[in-house]
Amino acid sequence: MTVAERSAETEYEKKLKSKALVRWLHSFRYKHLRSIVAELAADASDRPLRIVEVGCAHGALFDALDPLFDIDYTGIDPTPEFARAARERHEGSSNFRVIADGAENVLGGLKRPDLVVALETLEHVPTRAAVRIVEAVADLGPDLFVCSVPVEVGPIIWIKNLGSLLIRYNRSGRFNRDVLRRTFWAGLYQMNRVPVHRHGHTGFDWRWVGQTIRHEMRIREIRTLPFRFLPAGLSTNVMFLAEPRRDGRGGTGG
């Protein structure tokens, strides 16, 4: 990894951790994963729990789980510098490996895992690729698929963008008239007035992710974050817990 790449990587991580509120909100996804993995590990106590993460970035999920559980972890990330950083940081861990490619290209070649995780990933993937990823996960047939995505529609988007402006957290780029217009219409669920989603938060609608997962798997539970009692329109994120259907949809690889 070049000096420039190390610097860029560090700046990326600094942005995520620069504000206490941001760190607090990001912590909830890992709290949920730890409790979910604890349940799965109890059923696989005689062997390492096989975990695949889609969009692993630097391998933060591995860092959160490895001290607590016996896991065999595979991370997938299409960004070469992210994959290199993850590989370098965890080169001493025999139960860690990372693949630098799109998940839609590699999931089909993996051994069936116990758990596939995609934390705040699908909003950064073009819609067609995201659909292919969900299909590939279903074909792989893990015991459980956990997918969290941000809520970018409904009143919460007003709170998110205004809050980001107040704490000077660069969430949506420079806050200008165009961002204000997009925020207003997205808060009213008028997505036809918002640019079509490409590979970021703008125009992203968590509901189509839910429908895509539902078509391929059985959604066992939908959790809202940071607090499960909040409706989705007032939640910062939603987390789907899905499993293969009993009618046989999903992989059967050993």
The one-digit pLDDT tens for each residue of the chain (254 residues) are 333 334 344 455 666 666 677 777 778 899 999 999 999 998 887 899 999 999 999 999 999 999 999 999 999 999 998 999 999 999 999 999 999 999 999 999 999 999 999 999 999 999 999 999 999 999 999 999 999 999 999 999 999 888 877 766 666 556 788 888 999 999 999 999 999 998 888 899 999 999 999 999 999 999 999 999 999 999 999 999 999 987 655 444 43
Structural domains of the chain in order of their starting residue, each with its CATH number? 3-152+204-243 (3.40.50.150), 153-197 (no CATH)
Beta pairing, strands 115-119 & 49-54: parallel
* pLDDT of amino acid 254: 39
- DSSP run (H or E) holding 132: helix 127-140
* pLDDT of amino acid 222: 97
Tell me the two tokens of residue 208. Answer: 């189509």
* pLDDT of amino acid 166: 72
Report the alpha-carbon distance of residue 60 to residue 86 in Å, rounded.
9
Instruction: Tell me the three state secondary structure of residue 224.
Output: strand
* pLDDT of amino acid 125: 93
Instruction: Please report the DSSP string for 81-103 in residue order.
Output: HHHHHHHHHTTT-TTEEEE-S-H
* pLDDT of amino acid 107: 97
Provide the phi-psi class of 56: left if phi over 0, else alpha when psi is between -120 and 50, else beta: alpha
Instruction: Tell me the three state secondary structure of residue 77.
Output: coil
ω into 78 cis (within 30 of 0):
no
ω into 67 cis (within 30 of 0):
no
- Facing residues of 39 across strands? none
Sole residue written with tokens 């806050």? 175
- Judge residue 72's burial from the number of C-beta atoms within 10 Å of its C-beta, 0-12 exposed, 13-18 middle, 19 or more buried: middle
* pLDDT of amino acid 27: 87
* C-alpha separations of 219 from 42, 116, 239 in Å: 22, 14, 10
Whole-model pTM: value is 0.88
Report the alpha-carbon distance of residue 29 to residue 27 in Å, rounded.
6
